Amino acid sequence: MRHWRAWLVPAVAAVSFAVIWALSLNQPLFLALNRLGPATSDWLWANITVLGDTVVAFALCLPLWRRRPDLLWAFLFLALLGTLWVHGLKHFFDVARPPGVFPDAHIIGPGYKAGSFPSGHATTVFAVAGLMAIGAQFRTTYVILVTAALIAALSRSVVGVHWPLDIVAGAFGGWVSAILALELGRRTYWLGSKAWVQWSLGLFLAICAAWLVIGHPRSGYPQADLVQRAIGICCLGAAAARLKRAAA
């Protein structure tokens, strides 16, 4: 992981965190982002923010099955490291969410008031984006994935449940989790390449995709039900097509 692009995102996130903290921009930036909701569309931002939902993000990894077994194996480490980053810091830092500070903030979806730092959605979306962007090693793919992850992460302030500091901390932790997961995956691929491991991971991700098709109410954004179902169907379809091609 010596290429500069692999470390660009966490470097920018770390600098952004320092600047926001030093200049006390956390609340002003939140209010500016939060105003985008009523100025645009609640439906739009609800559909964007679900990209950081754990089940949605996991389902989006299903097309890696039988295409990139190395990345599918690294996904296991990614899930573990990302979970440790989010829940470890949330238990250590007791930070109130924006609805607990600004009762008049524009809220789209559940108005959580505790457990703000870091953003789980931002961590998840940058972890998956990092896994695929670094793994793909294509400049265009990198730009598209980072841009999509950034918009999805910023949506957490637009929907009113996270501070900008939560978001940049999530971006940092998610991307670093991807870097570490890829390295751990490379060193232990002798185990991850085994057929039963690949099938087990594929089955788990297929269950996540099927859950989206059946209905995933725990995301908290009913406006995004149709998009979530479409994601699940597309990911299951991609896996089925790959399986059919391999059997032909």
Are 119 and 87 contacting, i.e. CB atoms less than 8 angstroms apart?
no
Give me the tens of pLDDT residue by residue for the chain, a chain 248 residues long: 557 778 999 999 999 999 999 999 999 999 999 999 999 999 999 999 999 999 999 999 999 999 999 999 999 999 999 999 999 999 899 899 999 999 999 999 999 899 999 999 999 999 999 999 998 877 888 999 999 999 999 999 999 999 999 999 999 999 999 999 999 999 999 999 999 999 999 999 999 999 999 987 778 899 999 999 999 999 999 999 988 776 65
User: What is the secondary structure of 95-138 as a DSSP string?
Assistant: ---HHHH-TTS---S----S--SS-HHHHHHHHHHHHHHHHH--
DSSP 193: T
Angle at 10 between CA 126 and CA 69, to 5 degrees: 50
Q: What CATH number is given for 4-21+41-247 in this structure?
A: 1.20.144
Tell me the C-alpha to C-alpha distance, in Å, between residue 160 and each of 31, 38, 101.
Answer: 9, 11, 11
pLDDT attached to residue 24: 97
Name the amino acid, one letter, at 87.
H
101 burial (CB, 10 Å; 0-12 / 13-18 / 19+) is middle
- Domain definitions of the chain by residue range: 4-21+41-247
Query: Do you find a cis peptide bond into 118, omega within 30 degrees of 0?
Result: yes
Residue among 183, 166, 177 nearest 130 (CA): 177
**HSE on the CB side for 164, CA within 13 Å?**
21
Which 3 state secondary structure label does DSSP give 160?
coil
- Token readout for 82 is 């990302």
**pTM for the full model?**
0.96
Dihedral, CA of residue 214, residue 215, residue 216 and residue 218, to nearest 10: -130
